[in-house]
């Protein structure tokens, strides 16, 4: 191996290890790797930032903005609110929601599709009296599957299309992925709707708890002059039991007292640590005249406010609070919001709530000024679990937004306009129509994904130009020597799927697509079957909650554990391979 190859393989190995470790966010890891590669001479300084101007990066950003416009115009919510019925049987509900999610994710970012449908699914589960965990995982998988069908449905398809253009001089068109991705998505959706959801483990405690969404570990403080001052904590047990609240600790002067401190006498400024649902927490607070927060935060929150609302949010990897505490980001003084509690599956939170580091998948319970919930949720970058009313800007713009998007897709599909130009025109139209306010335009771009793409693209190009992808392709061909074509494609899919289950699917596509082209070149066959195999496999992250952001988003609200995903995900990945390989050989012959 050459020096550049050794350096690049070492860097990619370090990137994979750091992404698996999860200590730093993927965009920081990727950008740091790019800088190291430039310093070590493996990437030319003049090529260091070409990824940020790459067509794939631009299209991903534009798709996110257009997706937000479709939501804000009410175009998508119009479908969900008219079709979803809480009285429908669970199997029928999963079929309907999975179908809607699959179709939506084919034409908008699949994370955005889940973000739209997830609150609807949870509200439906509440009304039906069942655990959201029975339907959230099928919904997540359906939105991932649906993205396989079109060019803009998922970032891996966009990346693979641009890599094909760079390598072979021609990109894929909008619906070139449909014969393989569409068929695979349909069969996958049928499995999820009819069989897959039955494989999800049902826990009795999850059914009870999730019917009211989640229990939170929260804090209520004892204000000055409160009648509870001088009483022992144990004397509050009767009131707590009536409100269905568990007293699990006491905090005094910033220090946690051990146990539940039953024999401690309450003092002004003490904070009771409780486990309860939002409704029970508020009932207990009202019964004992406790405060949601300390006096300073309470005054700040109530100033110039006509009332208070309770907001429930899910933390994602891109959330402002992910990896930080409410105090560190200045939640109370920046947004006049108070963190009441945190629900985290798997273990009880024992430290002070506002000093607890939030993690992706956590559900936060916030107290906010009335009608400011959408702004607070957007500032935090979290997904709300209640209807925020963001789906409709003005009903008169709904069909105009749909028409503009459909026209752009049609023009791009027949080759009259480049996809990036078509999407760019839609974004401009949405801004001029005020479907998306100009001040919010860039808020809808997932900048960590942009940085990831901008950093990984030059690294991938350097690996290819140095001959690194050729070495990997030669190794795979050597391992599969003498195998039939379908077996070679299966091996490539298994390797790509394995990477996608533990790494970001965007990074997986950037690495695997050039390898597929090199394998086709060595075998003297068309590269399209190999690129299609990579496209499907890179999007098939069903075994873990970390392989795809959709799986991470449902972790907390669904009450899942890390090991729950493979129960439905493993047979689904096997089905994806079994369906996609014959489809590839039929529609994209060698």
pLDDT value at position 240? 84
Q: Which helix (H) or strand (E) holds 208?
A: helix 204-210
Task: Quote the CA–CA distance of 339 and 368 in Å, as a whole number.
Answer: 9
Task: Quote the CA–CA distance of 488 and 473 in Å, as a whole number.
Answer: 11
Residue from 132, 151, 153 nearest 142 by CA: 153
- Phi then psi for residue 564, to 5 deg, are -75, -25
Q: pLDDT exceeding 70 applies to what percent of the chain?
A: 86
Beta carbons of 554 and 128 less than 8 angstroms apart: no
Q: Is the pLDDT of residue 72 over 50?
A: yes
Task: Quote the CA–CA distance of 12 and 4 in Å, as a whole number.
Answer: 12
| Full 3-state SS string of 178-192 | HHHHHHHHHHHHHHH
Residue 542: pLDDT band (50, 70, 90) is: very high
Q: What is the DSSP string of 390-435?
A: -SBS-GGGHHHHHHHHHHHHHHHHTTSS-HHHHHHHHHHHHHHTTS
- Report CA Rg, the chain: 25
**3-state SS, residue 27:** helix
pLDDT value at position 444? 77
**3-state SS, residue 336:** coil
CB burial of 77-109 (b: ≥16 within 10 Å; e: otherwise) equals bbebeeebeeebeeeebbbbbbbbbbbbbbbbb
User: In angstroms, what CA-CA distances link 145 with 10, 190, 333, 363, 535?
Assistant: 33, 11, 42, 26, 11
Q: Which residue's entry shows tokens 């560190």?
A: 328
pLDDT value at position 276? 75
Task: Quote the CA–CA distance of 69 and 425 in Å, as a whole number.
Answer: 13
What is the rounded average pLDDT of the residues 139-144?
93
Higher pLDDT, 274 or 244: 274
Task: Quote the CA–CA distance of 140 and 549 in Å, as a whole number.
Answer: 9
Enumerate domains of the chain plus CATH numbers. 3-205+443-587 (no CATH), 219-384 (3.30.70.1450)
Beta carbons of 41 and 4 less than 8 angstroms apart: yes
What is the rounded average pLDDT of the residues 153-167?
89
DSSP state of 544: S
What is the rounded average pLDDT of the residues 191-199?
90
User: In angstroms, what CA-CA distances link 122 with 82, 199, 384?
Assistant: 16, 19, 11
Q: Using DSSP bridges, classify how beta strands 308-314 and 383-384 pair: parallel, antiparallel or unpaired.
A: antiparallel
Higher pLDDT, 128 or 44: 44
Q: Is the pLDDT of residue 349 over 70?
A: no
The residues, ordered by sequence, that sit 6+ positions from 82 with a Cβ below 8 Å of its Cβ are none
What is the rounded average pLDDT of the residues 540-555?
79
pLDDT value at position 393? 40
Largest CA distance in the chain: 84
Residue 279: pLDDT band (50, 70, 90) is: low
Task: Quote the CA–CA distance of 222 and 409 in Å, as a whole number.
Answer: 58
What is the rounded average pLDDT of the residues 34-44?
93
Residue 468: pLDDT band (50, 70, 90) is: confident
Q: Is the pLDDT of residue 211 over 90?
A: no
pLDDT value at position 307? 56
Number of other residues whose CB lies within 10 A of the CB of residue 57: 25
Q: Which helix (H) or strand (E) holds 447?
A: helix 447-465
pLDDT value at position 343? 79
Angle at 80 between CA 74 and CA 83, to 5 degrees: 135
Task: Quote the CA–CA distance of 448 and 299 in Å, as a whole number.
Answer: 36
Q: What is the mean pLDDT of the chain?
A: 81
Higher pLDDT, 122 or 520: 520
Task: Quote the CA–CA distance of 133 and 554 in Å, as a whole number.
Answer: 8
The residues, ordered by sequence, that sit 6+ positions from 231 with a Cβ below 8 Å of its Cβ are 265, 266
Residue 345: pLDDT band (50, 70, 90) is: low
CB burial of 485-521 (b: ≥16 within 10 Å; e: otherwise) equals beebbbbbbebbbebbbbbbbbbbbbbbbbbbbbbbe
For the record, the structure tokens of 253 come out as 């002067």
Q: Is the pLDDT of residue 556 over 80?
A: no
User: In angstroms, what CA-CA distances link 26 with 64, 398, 583?
Assistant: 19, 36, 33
Q: Is the pLDDT of residue 351 over 70?
A: no
pLDDT value at position 44? 92
Across-strand partners of 478?
A: none
pLDDT value at position 330? 85
């Amino acid at each position: 191996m050459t020096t550049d190859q050794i350096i690049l393989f070492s860097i990619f190995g370090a990137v994979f290890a750091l992404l698996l470790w999860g200590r730093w966010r993927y965009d920081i890891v990727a950008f740091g790797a790019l800088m190291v590669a430039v310093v070590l001479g493996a990437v030319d300084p003049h090529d260091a930032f070409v990824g940020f101007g790459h067509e794939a990066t631009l299209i991903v950003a534009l798709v996110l903005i257009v997706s937000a416009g479709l939501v804000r115009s009410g175009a998508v919510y119009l479908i969900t609110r008219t079709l979803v019925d809480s009285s429908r049987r669970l199997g029928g509900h999963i079929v309907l929601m999975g179908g809607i999610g699959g179709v939506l994710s084919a034409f908008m970012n699949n994370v955005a599709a889940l973000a739209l449908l997830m609150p609807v699914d949870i509200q439906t589960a509440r009304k039906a009296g069942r655990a959201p965990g029975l339907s959230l995982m099928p919904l997540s998988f359906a939105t991932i599957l649906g993205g396989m069908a079109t060019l803009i449905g998922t970032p891996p398809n966009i990346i693979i299309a641009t890599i094909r253009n760079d390598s072979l001089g021609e990109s894929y068109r909008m619906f070139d992925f449909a014969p393989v991705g569409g068929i695979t998505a349909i069969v996958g959706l049928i499995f999820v709707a009819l069989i897959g959801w039955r494989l999800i483990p049902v826990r009795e405690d999850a059914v009870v708890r999730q019917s009211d969404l989640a229990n939170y570990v929260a804090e209520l403080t004892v204000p000055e002059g409160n009648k509870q001052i001088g009483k022992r904590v144990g004397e509050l047990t009767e009131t707590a039991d009536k409100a269905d609240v568990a007293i699990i600790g006491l905090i005094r002067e910033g220090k946690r007292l051990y146990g539940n401190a039953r024999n401690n006498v309450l003092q002004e400024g003490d904070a009771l640590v409780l486990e309860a649902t939002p409704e029970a927490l508020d009932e207990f607070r009202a019964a004992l005249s406790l405060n949601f927060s300390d006096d300073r935060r309470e005054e700040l929150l109530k100033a110039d406010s006509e009332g208070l609302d309770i907001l429930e949010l899910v933390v994602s990897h891109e959330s402002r609070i992910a990896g930080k505490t409410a105090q560190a980001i200045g939640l109370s003084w920046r947004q006049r919001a108070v963190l009441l509690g945190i629900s985290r599956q798997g273990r009880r939170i024992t430290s002070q709530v506002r000093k607890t580091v939030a993690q992706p998948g956590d559900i936060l319970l916030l107290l906010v000024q009335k009608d400011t919930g959408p702004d607070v949720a957007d500032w935090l970058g979290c997904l709300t679990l209640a209807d925020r009313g963001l789906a409709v800007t003005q009903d008169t713009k709904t069909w105009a937004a749909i028409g503009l998007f459909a026209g752009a897709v049609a023009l791009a599909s027949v080759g009259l306009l480049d996809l990036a130009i078509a999407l760019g025109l839609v974004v401009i139209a949405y801004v001029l129509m005020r479907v998306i306010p100009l001040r919010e335009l860039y808020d809808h771009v997932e900048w960590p994904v942009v940085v990831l793409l901008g950093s990984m693209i030059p690294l991938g190009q350097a690996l290819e130009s140095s001959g690194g992808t050729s070495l990997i392709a030669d190794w795979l061909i050597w391992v599969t020597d003498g195998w039939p074509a379908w077996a070679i494609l299966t091996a490539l899919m298994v390797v790509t799927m394995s990477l996608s289950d533990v790494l970001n699917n965007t990074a997986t596509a950037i690495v695997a697509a050039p390898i597929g082209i090199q394998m086709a070149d060595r075998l003297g066959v068309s590269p399209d079957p190999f690129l299609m195999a990579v496209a499907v496999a890179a999007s098939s992250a069903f075994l873990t909650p970390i392989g795809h952001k959709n799986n991470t988003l449902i972790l907390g609200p669904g009450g899942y554990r890390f090991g729950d995903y493979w129960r439905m995900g493993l047979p689904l990945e096997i089905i994806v391979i079994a369906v996609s390989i014959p489809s590839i050989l039929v529609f994209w012959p060698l």
